[in-house]
Every structure is written in structure tokens, then in C-alpha cells.
Homo-oligomer: A and B are copies of this chain.
Amino acid sequence: MTRGDKRDQIMQAAETLFTSRRFHEITLDEVAQAAHVGKGTIYRYFKDKDDLFFQTATKGSDDLYAVIRASVPEGVSFEDKLLAVCEQVSAFYRKRREILRMIQDQEGRMPRCGGEMRRRWSERRENVLSAVASVFRDGVEAGQVRSDIAPEVLAGFLLGALRARVRELASHPGGMPPISQVVDFVIHGAVSRGAKESIS
């Protein structure tokens, strides 16, 4: 068993636990047990509980970023790219429920750990955002996406809408065609085809 393994075990257990209950309800004994690791070992890899939490969340964010980057197909239409991204994000989100939340919640919280940690937080967030934004940027270049709203802003909208949808589906399982609906909404908006001309 190599060096990195223990670390990964711990982080994986931590992610599962931290995303299932609130921070203060998780004991490190629990984490150690779930990771099949001695409690002391945790402190070999992480400074303290907060550090473990933060690194876990950061890792998740990096993973999402990597997934998005790797999954945007080249040389296909805007809609297909959009669909691909939505599917990746949505799948990722379903598998690792709370990570996206952690990412989006960069803002408040985390006051302790000096601006440093705060900075790294928002850096991660911006990475993800700009990865999604690149799809829109391509779309703008191809003349398919409106240029009067910044791609990053559109990316924010998409992520927000996607998140709402995934959550909805989580609490009402069964209900269906989720992703295509999001894509369609992002592309066309809420207005019905017929009424397009009569509005603003």
C-alpha cells in the first residue's frame, strides 16, 4: 500500500460523511473507522478537522473541473457540447451530491482560515465556472450564442438551473427527462415559440 492510498481512503470516507451530515455531527473517530485507519493517521495527513474538510471539498471541485474539461467534445455543435456538459455535471452531482454545493458556497463560511483558504476556494469555483463558460464562449464565436451576456454569467445561470433540477429530481425520484429540459431551457428560454415576436 503506497503513500497516497491512505490519504485517499481518508478523503473518500470524509467526503461521504461530511456530505451526509453536518460538520459538527461527524467525529474524527467515525472518519477513522470508516476509512479503516487509525485516528492518529488522519493527523499524519491533515492538520486538523477543518483542514480535512477543506481539502476534501477542494478535491471534489478539482475533480469536477477535470471531468468537465475532459468531457467537452471538440468539433460538435453548440447544443451537443452543452448537453455533454450538463450530463457530466449532473452525473457528477448525483454521484457526489454535496460537492457542487460546497463549491457554490465559496462565499460566506470559512472565516477562520485566513483569506488564504478563502482565496483558494473562489479560485476553484472560478475554474469550474470558466470551464463551463468556454462552451458558451465557443458558441458566441460561432455566432450561436448571444454576446450581450458574459459567458461566465451564462455559465452561472446554467449551473444554477442545473442544480435546481438535479435537486428537484433527488427529492422527487421517478420524475424524468431532466437534462434535456435544462438544455432546452437554457437555449430557448421560457417563452413559447408562438409568442416570441410579441415580447420586448
A185/B154 contact (C-beta < 8 A), A108-B98, A160-B161, A160-B163 known: yes
* Chain B contacts for A101, CB-based, 8 A: 105
Task: Identify the closest chain B residue to A186 (Cβ).
Answer: B190
**How many chain copies does the complex carry?**
2
Q: C-beta contact mask, A151-173 vs B, less than 8 Å → 1, else 0?
A: 00110111111111101101100
A20/B189 contact (C-beta < 8 A), A105-B101, A164-B156 known: no
* Chain B contacts for A191, CB-based, 8 A: 144-146, 187-188
Task: Identify the closest chain B residue to A154 (Cβ).
Answer: B190
Question: With an 8 A cutoff between CB atoms, is A44 at the interface?
Answer: no
Q: Are A24 and B21 in contact (CB under 8 A)?
A: no
Question: With an 8 A cutoff between CB atoms, is A147 at the interface?
Answer: yes
